[in-house]
Structure 1
């Protein structure tokens, strides 16, 4: 949960393939391993999550903040945080050979707001 979405209680599921992640992550692979294990029902601690916290997740990861932009009748999803959670979902999708749902909190945004994150490359993201 982030400061921006702490008051948003609605959690939705979005197919992993629908979420665009324009910035390359810097990853801690042991953290990803712990998240995958938690999703498989075998809670595992990591550097930032105790075993008790992992057990409280009951096989689910905390929702990811996702920007939701509606433009010309289309809905676009963008994420800039939650890199380790996304990598855990990527692994799950690969092991199950299917698109998997990502638990998310949607943050309504505009193209102009997205430009603050990605600069002039924003126009390339709506083609």
Structure 2
């Protein structure tokens, strides 16, 4: 089986979580045709689950807060956002602040 995601290819459990809880700190470069195609598929309840869940990096803060970030899946993320999705299917990948620093560099917050 081909590797689908460097983060979650070994994670089988899929969760539903509030879309509003996910941070996406970078502006994506999009192929509008691909976004529209995904919107069409995601709007069809019989086809929506054929779209892979988003990989969401999950950091637990020093005081127990939960922080969620999505860096990949920009076309899926954008399609879901435009459709006004309240809940989305995700694979949660628990990471440390240090791992998240690989993505955010010096702008990595001090998670509480």
TM tier relative to shorter chain: 0.7 to 0.9
Root-mean-square deviation over aligned CA pairs: 1.9
Which 5+ residue runs of structure 2 have no aligned equivalent? none
Q: Residue 59 of structure 1: CA displacement?
A: 2.1
What secondary structure, in the 3-state scheme, does the structure 1 residue paired with 2:26 have? Answer: coil
More helix by share: 1
Q: Please, which of 100, 104, 110 is the counterpart of residue 114 of structure 1?
A: 100
What secondary structure, in the 3-state scheme, does the structure 1 residue paired with 2:52 have? Answer: coil
Count of residues in Structure 1 that have an aligned counterpart in Structure 2: 107
Match of 2:18 in 1: 15
Give 4+ residue runs of structure 1 displaced > 3 Å after superposition: none
Match of 1:58 in 2: 47
Which 5+ residue runs of structure 1 have no aligned equivalent? 43-56, 94-98
CA–CA separation in structure 1 for the residues paired with 2:48 and 2:27: 26
Larger Rg: 1
Cα displacement string for residues 7-26 of structure 1 (whole angstroms, at most 9, x for unaligned residues): 11100011111000111100
CA–CA separation in structure 1 for the residues paired with 2:47 and 2:21: 25
Contact 1:92 1:100 in 2 (8 A): no
**TM-score of the two chains, using structure 1 as the length reference:** 0.77
